[in-house]
Structure 1
């Protein structure tokens, strides 16, 4: 879809919701914790938000209907995909730029501090000839090239060592909640058929502070040969023969009132509750685990114009243990109202069950569904648990023509992790307060 069309369609629905609400840009921007000019750019189509969380909050403030929330997410996915392709193309450097020393590589090397140049083993730039007044620019360009080459070699070597040292993956804590990163290995072969065996992903990095983590027993995550990332861009999916991609957001919130996290830290060491878009970084910083329930948002999109049938989602349990004996922290501020409409394509699963399975929420349809590049689907999963600490992941079955396969959907190579919180010490963060207090002790005016 052309860039201007995707962005314009997305902005048009935003404007419609904003105008219908009767609220000004200033009022909405204040409630969304963003600048008025930024909100203007989103509604005018001049910019596409990199994260969907503020878009959903805007829609809810404007009293969007469930079907409008689904359509808004669909339009954002398309506009965001086009924006991503444009950004990737702009990052490429032409041969003329590379040869002339005037491209992005030159700017990066000029900005490098002297210490980096010395560590890369680059010779110092030669001064201009005192007698001839020769311009030292060619020498500087050669020096910059040597510096850049040395840094690149060192970075590649460090990257390989890091990848080998951390086979299970880890959270980078950048706060995007997995929205623009691969969410796990797609369990399909290059031909797009289901693999002969399905091994559960590793929980090696499920929680760095958990003494009961089964990481030592399970070993590194295994990726089938020829597989593609489940959240890979469309081009990667096509190269691997997989006609569908999946983007998982394991730290999405149905509403702040329903979201809680367990952490093995005292209240005095905990940061204040984040906004939804900062939840991933907050969880990573505290080694936290979803408490009581986990709300998962899956965006499924085809990689081309052909129709792909999503036949179903299966819940797989990778491990069950006694619930974590950690403190329970509520994300909602006391006295702040929480709202949330019923989503379409909503499913629930009890992880306490011996064989957990997804069931549609009342009024929702069940699988199968159809997707394509221009017609993505969004599924909302609520996984609840009270009696266990559960590692789990999903298998998405798809078919297209005479091809079929299974995608493993997880948290960047690790299982999702949700623990019961029954009887755990619970805390809340009062508005205007300076720390967490036992839940229920806050006096509301």
Structure 2
């Protein structure tokens, strides 16, 4: 956070402009800019910082460094927010061990419905059809099962035979404070059947598949102990900006199924996603996606590759095209890639002069990857798969537009409307 604020102050001092003048040109309040420069706040979107830095005539290297420090400061702010909103530790109730199973006599049905005890030398006769007893027992057991899952799971096995109920007993899970899931009932038998009695189950059936069986079975009448080893978390995070134009003047073209009179004036920066959603707009001709990749720990994570996954490809919609700006500079960021969505098998390739994969990231050394997807003759829905490895582990993270595919479409032959800076309405581009 301190390094982020220090760089902002350095840029501000070098600009020779006052806080008020810079804030007005960067479209923020003077007090907000003061807080950023003092390290008392971090903007949620990088676009406002990009405007500020360009007003201060920051060099390309300083822009990259400012973005890196913003990523770190934003991550630190998020960790601080979680620390203040989430409990430091689980309550005593959450962390206390599950209550010991109640005895069969505690939870057995009432005397009028329970059969009288028989002597040891008398054979036990269980009538096969028992519908009335089952209906009564089920009504009495359901509230108990909802209240104490563990007690029901054990007591059901002791008092009632699950196969007589006509349904599989279920196990409840609850999340712990670390995000892992712990089962509150014994694990089912590997065969998938839960009708076996406790004496018929070996101790190995209660252990996770990745663990070795217990040395010996638990003593009768005791609750078996099971140690869970949750799958380690993915060692990196990916933050996605679907419309990753860092220069606020670089507004892309969009296809919208509306006449010009029903399309609001274009917006910039962090307001673009809301504008796109409100109009049902589709990125036209090209779409720029920005990925901020950062490790979650001190260990190095290697980003091996990025692959395009096409979900659907068809003819472009016959909609109007809207261009919010007359264009912007042609700067190329350090980690920039292109992909042609019209190709049979689109691939992600580094732009001219850029170095390709692999890259390395950690918590203190993030990377920002820019993907520019091009489409001319098709309307394409697509994902990107990021492959990583770290410390002998490997995996794939699917990159999407907040859970849905990205959508990029060609706009060839469609009427184009522009909205000039300072204008009041959309006008038809005479060349299209």
Q: TM-score, normalised by structure 1?
A: 0.62
Q: In structure 2, what is the equivalent of residue 66 of structure 1?
A: 60
Separation (CA, whole Å) in 1 of partners of 2:324 and 2:367: 28
User: Contact between 1:254 and 1:295, CA under 8 Å: does it hold in 2?
Assistant: no
Would you say 1:243 and 2:235 are equivalent positions? yes
- Shift of residue 405, structure 1, vs aligned partner: 0.8
d(CA) in 2 for partners of 1:76 and 1:248? Answer: 15
Larger Rg: 2
Deviations 1:276-297 (A, max 9, x none): 1100100110000111100110
Q: In the alignment, is the contact (CA less than 8 A) between 2:286 and 2:408 conserved in 1?
A: yes
| Partner of residue 31 from structure 2, selected from 33, 37, 40 | 37
Q: Does 1:289 align with 2:282?
A: yes
1:330-369 to structure 2, matched below 5 A, reads 330-332=323-325, 338-339=328-329, 341-369=331-359
1:184-215 Cα shifts (integer Å, max 9, x gaps): xxxxxx9xxxxxxxxxxxxxxxxxxxxxxxxx
Structure 2: tracts of 5 or more residues without a match: 90-180, 182-229
2: CA distance, partners of 1:402 / 1:93: 33
Q: Summarize the Cα distance change of 1:242–1:93 in structure 2 as closer, same or farther, 3 Å threshold.
A: closer
Deviations 1:124-166 (A, max 9, x none): xxxxxxxxxxxxxxxxxxxxxxxxxxxxxxxxxxxxxxxxxxx
Query: Is the partner of 1:245 in helix, strand or coil?
Result: strand
1:350-381: per-residue Cα shift (whole Å, max 9, x none)?
A: 11112211221223211101001111110011
Could you tell me which of 292, 306, 312 is aligned with 1:313? 306
**Do the aligned partners of 2:255 and 2:411 also contact (CA within 8 Å) in 1?**
yes
The aligned counterpart of 2:322 is: 329
User: Which residue, 256, 279, 282 being the options, matches 1:263?
Assistant: 256
Distance across 1 between alignment mates of 2:276 and 2:12:
32
Query: Cα–Cα, structure 1 residues 31 and 239, in superposed 2: closer, same or farther, change >3 Å?
Result: farther
SS in 1 for 2:44: coil
The residue aligned with 1:213 is none
Shift of 1:340: 5.6
| Separation in structure 2 between the aligned mates of residue 34 and residue 258 of structure 1, nearest angstrom | 20
**Number of the residue aligned with 1:51:** 45
Cα distance, 1:68 vs. partner? 2.2
Cα deviation for residue 19 of structure 1 reads: 2.6
RMSD: 2.4
Secondary structure in structure 2 of the residue aligned to 1:248:
strand
Residues 60 and 340, structure 1, Cα contact 8 Å, conserved in 2: no
**8 Å CA contact retained: 2:46, 2:246:** no
2:16 maps to what in 1?
A: 22
Could you tell me which residue of structure 2 aligns to residue 395 of structure 1? Answer: 385
Q: 1:248 to 1:239 in 2, by over 3 A?
A: farther
CA displacement at 1:329 relative to structure 2: 0.9
Alpha-carbon distance change, 291 to 89 in structure 1, aligned in 2, over 3 angstroms: same
Instruction: State how far apart, in whole Å, the 2-side matches of 1:14 and 1:251 are.
Output: 25
CA distance in 2, matches of 1:19, 1:247: 31
Look up the match of 1:216.
none
1:20-419, aligned counterparts within 5 Å?
20-92=14-86, 240-253=232-245, 255=247, 256-257=249-250, 259-332=252-325, 338-339=328-329, 341-419=331-409
Give distance in 2, aligned partners of 1:243 and 1:327: 43
Structure 1 stretches (4+) deviating beyond 6 angstroms? Answer: none
Contact 1:254 1:340 in 2 (8 A): no
Residue in structure 1 matching 2:415, options 421, 425, 445: 425
Show structure 1 runs of 5+ residues with no match.
Answer: 1-6, 96-189, 191-237
1:254 to 1:374, Cα distance in 2 relative to 1, 3 A: closer
Displacement after TM superposition at 1:56 (Å): 1.8
TM normalised by structure 2 equals 0.63
Q: Which has the higher contact order (CA 8 A, sep 6+)?
A: 1
The 1:282/1:412 distance shift into structure 2, 3 A limit, reads same
- Whether contact under 8 Å (2:5, 2:37) holds in the other structure is yes
CA gap 1:254/1:327 in 2 versus in 1, 3 angstroms: farther
